[in-house]
Structures are given as C-alpha cells and as structure tokens.
Structure 1
C-alpha cells in the first residue's frame, strides 16, 4: 500500500513537472509569435512595400529568419561549450572549438551575403538599406520595451 501511494505521488509530481514544462513552452511560443507579429508589422510599415514586393519579399525573408535562428541556436550551444570548456578540454579540443566558432560566424556571414543579393533582386536598393536600418531599430525598440516592462514589474513589487 505504501509503495502504491509512493508511486502515485511520484507519478503526480512527474506529471505536474511535465505539464509545467509544456506550459512554459507554450508561453515561450506565444511570446515568440507576438514578437514575430510585431516585427512583421514594423517592417511592413517602415519598408512601405508594394503588394508585388511584399508577395516576393516575405517568403524569402521568412526563410532567412529561420536559417538565422538555426545559427543563433548553434551559437548558444557553442557558447555553452566554451563556458564549460575551461580546464576540461585539451588544447587540441579547444582549438577545434575555436575553429568551429569561426566557421559558424563565416557561414552566417555567407547567409547574409546570399540573402542580400536575393533582396536586391526583389526590392530597390534603398528599401534593402531601409530593411537593415528597420531591423536594427526594431531590435532597439524591443530592448527598450523589455527594459521598461522589467522596470514596471520591479516597481509593482
């Protein structure tokens, strides 16, 4: 009987933990979708795309964003490896890690170069420049918004 109660408690705790993780994943996904929606609206307004430009631009831009997210994930994984590497890896392993880090940055630079050329085929050069400027402005806008929200949350406490 005690074993059954123990198993039941363990099962409920495990289920609760899984449910909590699923809820966090959903919250993360919701935040990401809100961010994406706000970014699309910001870029659409700033770039003043014609319907024809928008039809060609957004699939290419979304493809690039997906690939950039993959690079960001790889970079975060490498940063974790670098943090954990000190004192644990041989010189040979650390050299390989540094080269892998540089390779990811090169690959990402090549990605930017490739999509820059694609954007130039879709948009006039002035709108490509506006795109880069708008992406930076949006990033700064989001940082400011995040800081203000944190400040507001801290004041409520």
Structure 2
C-alpha cells in the first residue's frame, strides 16, 4: 500500500513540476522582452475574453496580484539544490514540499477565482485558461521561429 501511495505521489509530482517549470521557462529572461510579452499577453487576453474597459481594469488588477502571489509561493518552495544531487531523504522532503506548494497554489486559485467572479462572468474565467494556453503556444512558436531566423517578434 505504501509503495502505491509513493508511486501516486511521484506521478502527481512528475506531472506538476514540468508544468510549473514550463510557465517560468516560456518567458524570456530579458526584462525589455518580458515587458513586451506581458503587454502582448494582456492585449491578447483582453481581446479574447471580450473584457469591457471597466472589467479590464478590475480584472487585471486582481489577476496581477494573483500572479505575484503565485510567484511568491513558487519561490518559497524552490529546492535548495538540484534534484540530481538530493539524497533519498531530501527527495522525500522535496516531494512533500511540492504537495504543500500545490495545495497552496490551489488555495490561491480558489480565493482569486471567487474574487474574479465578482468582476467577470464565469464563462470568461473558463475562457481565460484556454486563451492563456493558446497565447503561450503562440509565444513558444514565435520564439522558435525567431531563433530559426524566420521572424516572429513580440
């Protein structure tokens, strides 16, 4: 039974860690480029969600706050050393910390989504996830094209 629980934890952690890492890895490191990407993302999502001016102001204030808190939680649970260099005990502690991080992030998501529902309809929040995923895929495509010399600038 214990092995099955650990296998399940490893499966969950294995799926969650790459997703969180991908979110940070997708963003360019240059602050000027980051600012352009963020502005393009806000414009894309605002248009895709069909946010009115009033909705947009309130929504983005809340959403930026939400993203800042997410970053703080992720930073708090960042491992002290590379996973490859961890002992089994450190790896177990890391897995446990990852579960705590996921719970904290889920709590934040619940809190902020309930607050955002007071600003925008539920349909727009559901569409937000899809539109954000589409934007990230487009961003990765443009970055790849740019690296390969085919243009694709933000």
Equivalent in the alignment of 2:50: 48
Matches within 5 A, 1:1-157: 28-74=30-76, 77-78=78-79, 80-85=81-86, 89=87, 91-152=88-149
Does the residue aligned with 1:122 lie in a helix, a strand or coil? Answer: coil
Of the structure 1 ranges 27-36 and 53-62, higher mean CA displacement relative to structure 2 is found in 27-36
Aligned length: 122
Contact 1:57 1:119 in 2 (8 A): yes
Gaps of 5+ in 1: 1-26
Change (3 A) 1:51 1:113: same
- In the TM superposition, residue 93 of structure 1 has moved relative to its aligned partner by 3.1
- In the TM superposition, residue 59 of structure 1 has moved relative to its aligned partner by 0.7
Gaps of 5+ in 2: 1-28
- In the TM superposition, residue 139 of structure 1 has moved relative to its aligned partner by 0.8
- In the TM superposition, residue 133 of structure 1 has moved relative to its aligned partner by 1.3
Tell me the distance in 1 between the aligned counterparts of 2:111 and 2:102. Answer: 14
Tell me the distance in 2 between the aligned counterparts of 1:56 and 1:28. Answer: 28
Select the structure of larger CA radius of gyration.
Answer: 1
Q: Segments of 4+ in structure 1 off by > 3 A?
A: 71-75
Tell me the distance in 2 between the aligned counterparts of 1:112 and 1:63. Answer: 11
Structure with the bigger percentage of helix: 1
Tell me the distance in 2 between the aligned counterparts of 1:41 and 1:108. Answer: 25
- In the TM superposition, residue 110 of structure 1 has moved relative to its aligned partner by 1.6
Tell me the distance in 2 between the aligned counterparts of 1:43 and 1:112. Answer: 18
Q: TM-score with structure 1 length normalisation?
A: 0.68
Tell me the distance in 2 between the aligned counterparts of 1:59 and 1:28. Answer: 24
- In the TM superposition, residue 79 of structure 1 has moved relative to its aligned partner by 8.4
1:83-103 CA-partner distances (Å, limit 9, x unpaired): 321xxx3x4333222111111
